[in-house]
Amino acid sequence: MQQRDKLFINGSWVTPHGTGFIDVIHSATEDVMGKIPEGDARDAENAIAAARAAFDAWSATPPSVRADYIRKIAEGLKARSEELAQMIAGEVGMPIKLARAIQVGGPVYNWGQAAALLDQFAFEEQVGNSLVVREPVGVVAAITPWNYPLNQITLKVAPALAAGCTVVLKPSEVAPLNAFVLAEVIEAAGLPPGVFNLVTGYGPVVGEVLASHPDVDMVSFTGSTRAGKRVSELAAQSVKRVALELGGKSASVILDDADLPTAVKGTIGACYLNSGQTCSAHTRMLVPRSRYEEVKAIAAKVVEGFTVGDPLADTTKLGPLISAVQKERVTGYIRRGLDEGAELVAGGPDTPAGLDRGFFVKPTVLGNVDPKATVAQEEIFGPVLSVICYDTEDEAIRIANDSIYGLGGGVWSGDESRAIRVARRIRTGQVDINGGPFNMNAPFGGFKQSGNGREGGKFGLEEFLEYKSLQLKKPA
């Protein structure tokens, strides 16, 4: 078990003012795998003060020097990759092979990319008689979730540091151990004191201080739409910048000329990644009504291949959910879907056989779901796919857009130009065309109640920069 009893503030590991501890529970065994400090408001305030004091010097540090620090951090994380993969597989439940590639490989890549961007990013340009410069927004509070813990931290902290901002990080208390490893790596890289600070604790205490404090210039938050609304309310009092990456209810639209087996398999894979604990998961599969029986047969067969079990076993394709609360939430949605008239194609609300310990849920497909049903409208955050039938292309697009969310989605067609045409009509931040792979350098973020702002590549760096125009006297 990992016992953490200090916070990382102003370049040092310090004893928190908060006296409590928070248990970190292993998702597959339900054992306590670690303890972290329950920081309080004073700890958050101290971290903000350290970040504010460090900002002037860090923002004036040349981009090439900032890039050198960031490369050291990328190298430090890479050196601890296996430790981090095992840790996050336990915290979150993602199978170890995927945890190595996604939960750790993604952050290592993104830290490296943040450094590489600094070698080419144009921080200033001439526009007429104006010199337009890009300057860091200031002190950034990064509040991050548990589902892709290190990667969501990275997508905020790495570009913020690259931009010249200083940072206070509050990771999710549910999957926080990886954040302490990152702090150790940052310390070893020699980042100046106060540039990066780590405070753990609960959102209503630490998070609310970070979102409301007048010395914080920007809050970057990833989490539920409900919590994102609260962050926005608090941040509005000091008119600070807010970036939000929130919930989703993404639709995979399978058109009538699609390769049906490939499209169904691809959609299920995009729904079940990380046991469905993915904000952009394709949780609604829209299919031509005339092909519904075929879809059911294909889906049932595909789901049989999702072996549920220990995330540390190489044969596991679907691990547990993060917590008992999440398991109860997801199984409750499955029952509600059935109560509201959905057909059970695969899975169901019962615990998988032989897996009484751990937060395991059967991979589930609900068929013939009404577009207005609860399971078609609300984010479930588990391995639950709703199959919705449509009669025309226009109806499919209307159903896809009938959501308060707009984060991800997919379109499948034998004609790529048709798929692109349909994708342009879907109000969402990214759309996969025929299973196109995720691009870590493309902008990631949402429309509507999925949030605002973008992460990834140069687009993520730009979130942490302000424009300044210097009007130059025209030559005589």
pLDDT, tens digit (0-9, with 9 covering 90-100), for 91-136: 999 999 999 999 999 999 999 999 999 999 999 999 999 999 999 9
DSSP track, 329-353: HHHHHHHHHHHTT-EEEE--SSPPT
Model confidence at 283: pLDDT above 90: yes
What confidence tier does 474 reach under pLDDT thresholds 50, 70, 90?
confident
Q: So what's the pLDDT on residue 80? A: 98
Convert the pLDDT of each residue in 5-31 to its tens digit: 999 999 999 999 999 999 999 999 999
In this structure, what token pair is assigned to residue 72? 């050291």
The pLDDT of 246-267, averaged and rounded, is 98
Convert the pLDDT of each residue in 53-73 to its tens digit: 999 999 999 999 999 999 999
Please report the sign of the dihedral spanned by the C-alpha atoms of residue 156, residue 158, residue 161, residue 162: negative
Convert the pLDDT of each residue in 135-193 to its tens digit: 999 999 999 999 999 999 999 999 999 999 999 999 999 999 999 999 999 999 999 99
Given the residues 38, 165, 271, 279, select the one marked as catalytic. Answer: 279
The pLDDT of 30-55, averaged and rounded, is 98
Convert the pLDDT of each residue in 310-344 to its tens digit: 999 999 999 999 999 999 999 999 999 999 999 99
How much is the mean pLDDT over the chain? 97
- Let me know if 279 is a catalytic residue: yes
Separation CA 53–CA 194 (nearest Å): 7
Given the residues 245, 379, 455, 463, select the one marked as catalytic. Answer: 245
3-state secondary structure of 20: strand
What confidence tier does 466 reach under pLDDT thresholds 50, 70, 90?
very high
Model confidence at 476: pLDDT above 60: no
In this structure, what token pair is assigned to residue 322? 């993060």
What confidence tier does 475 reach under pLDDT thresholds 50, 70, 90?
low
Q: So what's the pLDDT on residue 238? A: 97
- Does the global pTM surpass 0.95? yes
In this prediction, what percent of the chain has a pLDDT beyond 70? Answer: 100
DSSP track, 82-139: HHHHHHHHHHH---HHHIIIIIIHHHHHHHHHHHHHHTT---EEEETTEEEEEEE--E
The pLDDT of 241-249, averaged and rounded, is 97
Domains defined for the chain, CATH in brackets: 2-246+450-470 (3.40.605.10), 250-440 (3.40.309.10)
Q: Rounded to 5 degrees, what are φ and ψ at 111?
A: -65, -45
